[in-house]
A = this chain, B = another copy of it.
Amino acid sequence: MPTDAEQPRPRVLPPTIRDVARAAGVSVGTASKALNDRGRLRPETRERVRAEAERLEFRPNDLIKSLLRGRTFTVGLITTDYFGRFNMPVIAGIEDALGSAEILVFLCNVRDDAERERKVISALLAKKVDGIIVMGRSVDPRPPINVGQSGPPVVYAFSRVPDPAALCLLPDDAQGARLATEHLLRSGHRHLAHITGPTDREAVASRWTGMSAVLLEHRIELPSSRVLYGAWTEGWGYEAVGQLLEQEETIDAILCGSDIIARGVLDGLRERGRAIPNDVAVVGFDNWEIIATQTRPPLTTVDMNLHDLGCVAAERLLAMVEGAQDSGIVHLPCSLVVRESCGSR
């Protein structure tokens, strides 16, 4: 048992199993049997030991159990940026799945600092975590982490590494954009535009791939002048819709690369007197509810189901801890949340 010998704080020493045994008037061996539900004991003895353990607030020590079992029932969660709105739901999903398996999560934010990442991994390995989940800032490739030959299994969630042996879970951006585009076409729109993020991001490319595939299937043209790349900001959405409407009078629907961009697009449309969705329908991407439910009108948008992605990451990690082999890039489906900015008509 740990002792408080090094802790000058004057607090009550935690009771040991000896204290419980003494209080119940039994041997330490009997107390241990009673508390661990082993051996043959009279029910009243077992009951008396448990009552004394409860009264004394005796807490079994997981550290000893971990040493004996070779598992700590802990998992390390490494995030590579500040906890943004994308990480939050993934973390909640991981926690939900691990919590129901009674596993605790070490949260470690390494902030794109390679030295900090190295230290954190070393600390997690020293704590003998059963597995590690690595989350990225985005779906763009990052280097794999190095846990050594005998390290625990690793899963990359909302993050991709260029290592075929790694398991990487990503939202299916192309499928999400397909859903959104099909919804726009089903709602009767034919003159589409796309206002999106930076050209060098994988999510931007994947979303455009999904959108253009649907347009091709329906033989609908979308000239490159109607695909506008820029920053992931509201300001860019507002500016881009101005540029777009100057050149393209006939636009009747805009798929935006994010809800933040859509927010600027909606403001720009309204200030130019365009009714939404009757003149121009708008669809976002993210279903960031604090934005999407508060725009005027509320925003139809793609949900990446990041909570589910977190759950799946945790479940597949646990399977690997139990011995399963798993690898590859797995895309998990997005869904569409329909609100007033593009309903059905």
Contacts and interface: CB of A to CB of B under 8 A. Distances in A.
A127 B323 contact: no
A119 B106 CA distance: 17
Interface string A1-36: 111111111111111000000000000000000000
Given A62-B126, A83-B91, A294 B7 contact: no
A6 B294 CA distance: 52
A260 B295 CA distance: 12
Given A70-B5, A83-B83, A290-B260, A109 B123 contact: no
Contacts of A322: 7-9
B71 A127 contact: no
B104 A2 contact: no
Interface stretch (A44-52, A148-156, A169-177, A333-341): A148-156
A104 B83 contact: no
A121 to B, nearest CB: 10
Contact of A102 (B66, B74, B109, B123): B123
Contacts of A149: 12, 57
Contacts of A119: 102
B70 A294 contact: no
Interface residues of A, number: 73
A220 to B, nearest CB: 32
A77 interface: yes
Interface string A96-111: 0001001011111100
A111 B69 CA distance: 31
A71 B7 contact: yes
Interface in A257-275: 260, 264
A77 B107 contact: yes
A147 to B, nearest CB: 9
A88 interface: yes
A17 to B, nearest CB: 14
B234 A294 contact: yes
A324 interface: yes
A125 interface: yes
A314 interface: no
A99 B78 CA distance: 13
A162 interface: no
A57 B150 contact: yes
Contact of A126 (B61, B77, B320, B323): B61
Interface of A: 1-15, 57, 59-64, 66-67, 69-72, 74, 77, 82-85, 88, 91-92, 95, 99, 102, 104-109, 116, 119-120, 122-128, 148-150, 153, 233-235, 260, 264, 290, 294, 320-325
